[in-house]
Structure 1
C-alpha cells in the first residue's frame, strides 16, 4: 500500500468515526430541556430517554444522557445490591412524575403529551 493510500484510508476512517464520538454530557444536559419542550425527546418507564420525533441532534442528546443514566443506575444497583432493572423502573416512574405538562412521556409503548 502506498503512503498516499495509507493516509487516505486513515483520513476516511477518522471522518467515519467522528459522528460516533457524539455529544458531550454537559452539552447534552444544556440542550435537553429545550428538546423536551420542542417535543423531540420524551421520558420512558424504563428510566431512559427516547426520541419522539426522528432528529439527529435529539438522538445525540438521548445517547449522551442515557449513557450517564445507565452508569448511574448500575452504580446505585451495585451499592444497594439490587437489580439494575429495579433501579431503572423506579427512576422511570420518578422521571415521568416530574415531567411537566406539555412534554412527552411514553405510556403502553405510545407517546402522549402529559
Structure 2
C-alpha cells in the first residue's frame, strides 16, 4: 500500500512540474532570433513560423509564437471585416520580405536560405 501511494505521489509531482518545463510566449519570443539565425526556424508565406530543423526547442518556439500570431490575425481580421486567411497572407508576405539574408524562408513548399 505504501509503495503505491509513493508511486502515485511521484506521478502527481511529475505531472505538476512538466508544464514548468514548457516555454511561455515571452521565452519563445526571446529565443526566436537565435532559432532563426541558427536555421532551426523560418518564415512561411502563410504568416506563420515553420520548423526547418527539429532541434532544441524549435517546435515549442514555433508553437507558442504561431498561437499568438493566430490570435492577433483573427483580431485584425475582425477589426477590418476581412477573412483571417487574408491577414495571414499579407503577414506572410511582409515577414518573408523582412527576413534577412541567410535565414530560412519557405518558398514553393521548400525551405531555402534567403
Common topology (TM > 0.5): yes
Q: 1:14 aligns with which of 13, 16, 27?
A: 16
Structure 1 length-normalised TM: 0.86
Q: Kindly tell me the number of residue pairs found equivalent between the two proteins.
A: 112
Alpha-carbon offset, residue 107 of structure 1: 0.6
Residue of structure 1 equivalent to 2:92: 92
* CA distance in structure 1 between the partners assigned to 2:108 and 2:30 by the alignment: 29
Q: CA RMSD in A?
A: 2.0
Q: Deviations over 1:1-32 (max 9, x none)?
A: 988165345335435x527x731111111111
Q: When the two structures are superposed, what TM-score results if normalisation uses the length of structure 2? A: 0.86
Contact persistence 1:45–1:92 (CA under 8 A): yes
- Structure 2 stretches of 5 or more lacking a match? none
Segments of 5+ residues of structure 1 without an aligned counterpart are none
After TM superposition, the structure 1 = structure 2 runs for residues 1-40 of structure 1, keeping only pairs within 5 Å, are: 4=5, 6-14=8-16, 17-18=18-19, 22-40=22-40
Contact in 2 for aligned 1:51/1:62 (Cα 8 Å): yes
What displacement does 1:97 show? 0.3
User: Contact (CA 8 Å) 1:25, 1:65: kept in 2 or not?
Assistant: yes
Q: Which consecutive aligned stretches of 4+ in structure 1 deviate over 4 angstroms post-superposition?
A: none
